[in-house]
Chain A
Amino acid sequence: MTSVYPPSIKPSPQRLLILCLLALFIAAPFAVYPVFLMKGLCFALFAAAFNLLLGYVGLLSFGHAMFFGFSAYITTHAAKEWGWTPETAILLGVLTAGVMGVVTGWLAIRRSGIYFAMVTLAFSQMMFFVALQAPFTHGEDGIQGVPRGHLFGLFDLGDNVVMYYFVLAVFTGSLMLIHRIVTSPFGQVLKAIRDNEPRAISLGYEVERYKLLAFTLSAALSGLAGSLKALVFQLVSLTDVHWHMSGEVVLMPLLGGVGTVFGPAMGAFMIVAIQDYFSEAGSWVTIIQGVIFVVCVLLFRNGVLGVLAPALKKRGIMV
């Protein structure tokens, strides 16, 4: 099947689908409450960042709340107390999460499986304690009333619709970056390590370095998601660094489809939608969530997108 088009300008069904989705998201704030959409996008980014590690390196972290939450604390502190512009405040948060990723990752990647999960959980519990005790995080109160500020000094993010487009732009860019990472030469080595680590070593790859870079990228992008979410809600609290958050981000890719770029984002939207639309159900939300999770894991072992994948592949929509 040779095509007359060079691959780069071939109007592939996949590209069309992504453009349609993008158009849908651009139009969405006029039909759906923008804050709900922003929450969905932030968690979708968090899930995609987390999946970089779970789906492409095969490492299950149980401490990603520390990157998500701490980046949020740093960003909100910089924006509120130091009056930084949103983009610089976010950048500082992302850098903090990245540095935390290097340090905790450097120790955690020496283990795998349940031990890796436990080491990351231990670090995140330590960071939870810091968030509880450090003066700048304001303990139980959290940081509230954070100004969203003006993006590049020009766009007033106080307007929900403007903020939405900012979040959508960051989300789109980040997902493109993640897609690039997993298809890059680096991504090839990651997949090789995931499939057969001893073999990757025997080919001369120092696998720890690759895992550490993946861990750091995942941490930094999780931080980006946390910072964005904090600016959307203009607050950060202990919920954002709590281990519940680390657990939720495990569910999202599992629901949507591990090892795909869009699956985790889909799973995130499902969870956020359940939380928001069933919020009157009170504590039943967690039960509904649990039932859906059990059903999904039993019926679609590769997540919802994993079930759709064969049909999409047949139509050339997914590669």
Chain B
Amino acid sequence: MTGDFIIETSGLTKEFKGFYAVADVDLRVRRHSIHALIGPNGAGKTTCFNLLTKFLSPSAGKIWFNGKDITQAKPAAIARQGMVRSFQISAVFGHLTVLENVRVALQRVEGTSFHFWRAGTSLEHLNARAEELIGAVGIAEYRDIPAGELSYGRKRALEIATTLALDPEMLLLDEPMAGMGTEDIKRTAELIKRVSANRTILMVEHNLSVVADLSDTITVLKLGRVLTEGSYAEISDNPEVVEAYMGSGHGAEGHG
């Protein structure tokens, strides 16, 4: 059933010693859409992410990716099936150069990653593709700089380039805009839109104007449960959402 939905969960639950971080979530992500997961702090968005990418094991419930039950799969296996995640805290390999960061992602499919006797120069044929990717996110000039020395926004750009190097079918972005300035946000939003062609994106994001701008579907979580789901227009009209999200009478607009 590789139908409309690329990801489906049923009754997804994660319990931490009596506390339900995620409770009975039925999530369905439509293929080739941008789907946002929003909600106030502690709503279980990141836990949900960790469950989907198998960094956490669910206490109950099932997860299907492309119609395949992945509830018991290992995180590395998920990535190899084409579902790649990013992290809330920018995740780069600090001591590797920008180019090497992207190349680490590219080299996996080469099948030589266990070849400890092979010269490092055997990876150089991947440089052109890696340069293309870092060019696409606008950090080509930092090619030979250790990634740890990049500014925050550029680290995030590098992270996206590294993720795209795997050419994933499905991208999970955990707060891609966190800690970015307005200029970087605009560029990253454009980038996400650009890469969403032929891909599915599920993202957690606090910046509601970004969410409004990019998302086809929005799922609102509250205390680990799904509050509602729909387009931005639909959910922003929902008084429950406004209350849950803002905790007061203010509109959801303008939060950033």
Residues of chain A touching chain B, judged by Cβ–Cβ distance below 8 Å, are 177, 180-181, 183-189, 191-192, 194-196, 198-207, 209-210, 213, 217
Contacts and interface: CB of A to CB of B under 8 A. Distances in A.
Given A196-B93, A203-B162, A210-B114, 7 more contacts: A185-B112, A191-B93, A195-B96, A203-B105, A204-B79, A205-B113, A209-B114
25 contacts: A183-B119, A184-B117, A185-B112, A185-B115, A185-B122, A185-B123, A188-B104, A188-B107, A188-B113, A189-B104, A191-B93, A191-B96, A195-B93, A195-B94, A195-B96, A199-B91, A201-B75, A201-B79, A203-B79, A204-B76, A204-B79, A206-B76, A206-B77, A210-B114, A217-B116
B94 to A, nearest CB: 5
Contact of B76 (A194, A195, A207): A207
B166 A198 contact: no
Interface stretch (B33-41, B80-88, B135-143): B80-88
B87 A184 contact: no
Contacts, number: 105
A199 B93 contact: yes
B76 A180 contact: no
B120 interface: yes
A98 to B, nearest CB: 13
A11 B37 CA distance: 57
A198 B87 contact: yes
A207 to B, nearest CB: 7
A188 B76 contact: no
Contacts of A188: 96, 100, 103-104, 107, 113, 120, 123
Contacts of A184: 115-120
Nearest 8 CB-CB pairings of A with B: A204-B79, A199-B91, A195-B93, A186-B116, A183-B120, A204-B80, A206-B76, A181-B116
A188 B122 CA distance: 12
A222 to B, nearest CB: 16
Contact of A192 (B53, B75, B96, B120): B96
B74 interface: yes
Question: Interface residue tally of chain B, by bracket?
Answer: 35 or more
A307 B94 CA distance: 20
A177 B86 CA distance: 35
B186 interface: no
Contacts of B75: 201-202
Given A203-B104, A203-B105, A180 B162 contact: no
B91 A186 contact: no
Interface in B96-135: 96, 100, 103-105, 107-108, 110, 112-120, 122-123
Given A202-B85, A203-B84, A205-B108, A186 B94 contact: no
Nearest to A204: B79
Contacts of A181: 116-117
Contacts of A207: 76
A187 B116 contact: yes
Given A188-B120, A203-B79, A198 B115 contact: no
Nearest to B147: A195
Contact of A202 (B91, B94, B113, B119): B91
Interface in B33-87: 53, 55, 74-77, 79-80, 84-87
B168 to A, nearest CB: 10
A9 to B, nearest CB: 14
A203 B115 contact: no
B193 interface: no
B160 interface: no
Contacts of B79: 201-204
B22 interface: no
B162 to A, nearest CB: 7
A209 to B, nearest CB: 8
A202 B84 contact: yes
A187 B166 contact: no
A17 to B, nearest CB: 20
B96 to A, nearest CB: 6
Nearest to B114: A186
A204 B162 CA distance: 12
A192 B147 CA distance: 11
A202 B117 contact: no
B235 interface: no
B55 A198 contact: yes
B146 to A, nearest CB: 10
Given A202-B85, A203-B79, A207-B76, A213 B116 contact: yes
